[in-house]
Amino acid sequence: MPRKEHAISRRQISDNAIKVLYRLHKSGFKAYLVGGGVRDILLGLQPKDFDVVTNATPEEIKRLFRNCRLVGRRFRLAHIVFGRDVIEVATLRGHHVDSGEKISKTNESGRLLRDNVYGNIDEDAERRDFTINALYYDISDFSIHSYGGGLQDLASRTIRLIGDPQTRYREDPVRMLRAVRFATKLDMTIEAKAAEPIKGLAGLLKDIPAARMYEEVLKLFFAGKAQQNFDMMREFGLFEPLFPMVESLLNEYPNGETSKLMQEMMANTDERVAQDKPVTPAFFYAALLWYPLVQRADDIALESGLSSYDAYNAAMGDVMEQQCRTISIPRRFSTVTKDIWQLQLRFDRNKGTKAFRFIEHPKFRAAYDLLLLRAHAEGGNVAKSAAWWKSFVEGSEDQRNVIARSANKGGRNRNSNQRRRRKPKAKPASKPAE
């Protein structure tokens, strides 16, 4: 599609991406803006990232750019760093014909373990996952190259795989998650042929490195489509491989507290994203794993006879360790998640005058937000506790003093008649008779 037939302008592409494209082009290499950057501009959206492909090898790219670092093991990539902005540059991929194990390798299920096979633009397009991502903007003449009917699928809003769906999903099971994410993000429909194998192959996600899955979860749940992605992932069986403990409770109690909390949390996350409020992985995992934590704590208390407080502390490590087997949660977030959990146990014990010090805790606000979500899911005493804390948090200084004093009167008061019974003094031993 020549320049006069499409609406993409260089003004819509980041200055840093343009710099990379032009330097590659002026150095005698082919250079294209590819994938989501082209797709989103054509759809009238603002791209978050601008990715570039070229026929230059990673080593040649590194020689051209002093601000370049090479990353990736499965597929070698060049990152051109401009402060906080990073332009990802990939070498055009080729087919695996007669390639040695050093540059290309798959495992028994067909998943690509190494993929450093280079080719031309036609071969690279065939290696792309979806037709709507097989779109290339050529900096040499500003034309668009579309493969597999990408422009037509963009117009009909269809998510279509390039090649055989079974083979493509086995090569990289994360493509199943990407199909869901693109469908919700772009308001598109997954083609029936591409959707049909997903349930049967969902279990392949268990083989994906946990560190990679952490990044995929951020894209799924922190972009304003958490509720839709959650529902579609469960429909296709993609939620269980990532969150087995949560899925077990959802199946056991379809309309229970876990289900209600999930709905509240996903809706709350989407609302915060829409309002440009921060959303953090620490709070997300604290809410997501709260009821698996409750279940594990109850089991520990029953088995060991520990107090409820000690059982919860023991369960925190168990639940986090099990979740990190599928999704590697960085310690800077998992530590805060445990803080939020621990504070849930302190809300009832810190009413009254203790509340003034408690609300100064650095993680109080996150813990309080989780308490409010739990109140909607559980009702009962949790809802009563949440209502008390809500009135205290939102009250003026004078109102807080009144609320705190009333809570103290309702509880134990050392000046009241309900004093602690003192242990009687031991009687002195009687002297033996002389």
First-to-last C-alpha distance (Å) of the chain: 120
Is there a single domain that holds both residue 116 and residue 7? yes
Rounded Cα gap, residues 8 and 30, in angstroms: 19
How many other CB atoms sit within 10 Å of the CB of residue 126? 16
Q: Is residue 11 situated within a structural domain?
A: yes
Boundary-marking domain end, from 156, 171, 198: 156
Q: Are residues 147 and 170 in the same domain?
A: no
Return the number of other C-beta atoms located less than 10 Å from residue 194's C-beta. Answer: 23
pLDDT at 425: 55
The pLDDT assigned to 324 comes to: 96
Kindly report the backbone phi and psi dihedral angles of residue 189, in degrees, each rounded to the nearest multiple of 5, phi listed first.
-115, 135
Contact 131, 190 (CB under 8 A): no
Q: Do residues 60 and 24 touch, judged by C-beta distance below 8 A? A: no
Distance between CA atoms of 65 and 89, rounded to whole angstroms? 11
Do 41 and 110 fall within a single domain? yes
Supply the CATH number for residue 237's domain.
Answer: 1.10.110.30
Measured CA distances, 386 to 36, 239, 336, 342, 377 (Å): 43, 30, 21, 16, 12
* Number of residues written out for the chain: 434
pLDDT of residue 23: 96
Residue 49: CB partners within 8 Å, gap ≥ 6? 36, 37, 88
Confirm whether 279 is domain-assigned.
no
Residue 82: inside a domain, yes or no? yes
Q: Which residues of 290-303 are buried (b: 16+ CB within 10 A; e: fewer)?
A: bbbbbbbbeebbee
d(CA 406, CA 60): 73
Supply the pTM of this predicted model: 0.84
Catalytic residues: 49, 51, 129
pLDDT at 415: 38
Q: Is residue 248 part of a domain?
A: yes
Mind listing the pLDDT tens digit of every residue in the chain (434 residues)? 998 888 898 999 999 999 999 999 999 999 999 999 999 999 999 998 899 999 999 999 999 999 999 998 767 899 999 999 999 999 999 876 554 444 444 545 544 444 567 889 999 999 899 999 999 999 999 999 999 999 999 999 999 999 999 999 999 999 999 999 999 999 999 999 999 999 999 999 999 999 999 999 999 999 999 999 999 999 999 999 999 999 999 999 999 999 999 999 999 999 999 999 999 999 999 999 999 999 999 999 999 888 888 999 999 999 999 999 999 999 999 999 999 999 999 998 888 889 999 999 999 999 999 999 999 999 999 999 999 999 999 999 989 999 988 877 655 444 334 344 454 555 555 555 54
Domain with residue 6: its CATH number is: 3.30.460.10
CA-based nearest residue to 240, from 288, 269, 283, 205 = 205
Please indicate, yes or no, whether residues 17 and 136 belong to a single structural domain of this protein.
yes
- Do 34 and 135 belong to one domain? yes
Residue 391 lies in a domain: no
Q: Which residues pair with 82 in a beta bridge?
A: 85
- Give the count of domains, the chain: 2
Say whether both 10 and 128 belong to one domain. Answer: yes
CA angle in degrees (0–180, nearest 5) for 27-31-36: 150
> Residue 28: left (phi > 0), alpha (psi -120 to 50), or beta?
left
Tell me the β-bridge partners of 341. Answer: none
The reply to whether 81 and 222 lie within a common domain is no
| In 226-276, alpha helices (H) | 226-236, 244-252, 257-274
Residues 68 and 96 in one domain: yes
Instruction: Compute CA distances 99 → 96, 114, 117, 367, whole Å.
Output: 5, 11, 7, 54
pLDDT at 225: 96
Token readout for 413 is 């008061």
Q: What's the DSSP call for residue 334?
A: H
- Whether 258 maps to a domain, the answer reads no
pLDDT at residue 424 in the model: 52
Task: Look at residue 105 and tell me if it is in a domain.
Answer: yes
Domain residue limits at 239: 163-252
Would 314 be classed as within a structural domain? no
The three-class DSSP label of residue 288 is helix
Give yes or no: residues 63 and 114 share one domain: yes
